[in-house]
Amino acid sequence: MTPSHRRDFLKTLLGGAAGISFSTGVLGQSGTTPITATKISDNFALITSAGSNVLVASNGEGLLMVNGGLPDTAAELLKVVTAQGDAKRIQALFNTDWHLENTGVNDTLGKAGTRIFSHENTRLWMSTEIVVQWQRKTYSPRAKEALPNQTFYTNGKIMFGNEEVQYGYLGQAHTDGDIYVFFPGPNILVTGDTFTVGSYPILDWSTGGWIGGLSDASKTLAGLADNQTKVIPGKGPVQGKADLQAQADMTAAMRTSFFNMMKKGMSASAMMAAAPTKDFDAKWGNPEQFIANAYPGLWNHVREIGGIV
């Protein structure tokens, strides 16, 4: 890394590249919108306004959740969740990554003995202090009870009543612990924040996210869906396979573009000025945070990219 690139890199770490002021991005805010549930299939409901989309399945004997909202919405969220089935017992919870907007109910459900599934990397992040440079924020370790207790490395499946639940690792994408959860019976795919609607995905490079992995993960998700799949993003309305494919196409194009820019020795500010996302901004919005977060993630993978000036 040349001295000029090092200075540019440090500016990016501090959120100062090209004079950008960053939002918190990962966490979001719960706001004042009431938490609501909408039935999307037999025995399945989508809960919104808890900080992230939460999917709830009922099998008549208990409930299963995918993601758990922000901590400050946990009590209200659980009231809405338990209203979705006759049984009050929440038998399983899936965390699609470590971020607070997906793990807010972990403390309560962990103490109650719920099985909490995640990738092993998610459990490791939650058990330690996390310094997220691009947010200028430090996250404290979570309580022991909040940690996932059913971790995996690649993929797996369980039965929830008569429903098969498939889950798998998406690699280093949004973070390095991203997973999907797929219900083949009702054809529902939960992507977590690896897939976004109306804004560019967050590349949380502080915990392993980067454009190469996000491109691979987007392709994987598109390959899991068919034209009838109900796709549940981290936030926003239910989507379809075409929307997944659009993100896969966008991230593949950005991967190629960013790699080429790095090989030319371009700085983060030069990449920003080149407007590599201009053909996609109408769909995904302001690209500044996306590009600025992509840059340090690329440096974390210089050997994989190869040919860096």
pLDDT score at 265: 93
Number of H helices, E strands in the chain: 11, 14
- Per cent of the chain over pLDDT 70 is 89
pLDDT score at 309: 58
Convert the pLDDT of each residue in 144-159 to its tens digit.
999 999 999 999 999 9
Residue 25 has pLDDT above 60, yes or no: no
Residue 75 has pLDDT above 60, yes or no: yes
pLDDT score at 153: 98
Residue 284 has pLDDT above 50, yes or no: yes
State how far the Cα of 286 lies from the Cα of 44, in Å rounded to an integer. 33
pLDDT band at residue 237 using 50, 70 and 90 as cut-offs: very high
State how far the Cα of 134 lies from the Cα of 289, in Å rounded to an integer. 9
Q: For 185, how many CA atoms within 13 A lie in the half-sphere containing its CB?
A: 13
Contact indicator for 179, 96 with CB cutoff of 8 Å: yes
Residue 5 has pLDDT above 60, yes or no: no
| Neighbouring-strand partners of residue 60 | none
Amino acid residing at 230: K
Q: Is 156 helix (H, G, I), strand (E, B) or coil?
A: strand
pLDDT band at residue 305 using 50, 70 and 90 as cut-offs: confident
pLDDT band at residue 16 using 50, 70 and 90 as cut-offs: very low
State how far the Cα of 309 lies from the Cα of 294, in Å rounded to an integer. 17
Tokens of 193: 């924040």
**All structural domains of the chain:** 27-256 (3.60.15.10)
Q: For 69, how many CA atoms within 13 A lie in the half-sphere containing its CB?
A: 28
Question: Phi-psi category of 19—alpha, beta or left, where left has phi over 0 and alpha has psi -120 to 50?
Answer: left
- Per cent of the chain over pLDDT 90 is 83
State mean pLDDT over 263-273. 94
pLDDT score at 3: 43
Q: Is the pTM of this model over 0.85?
A: yes
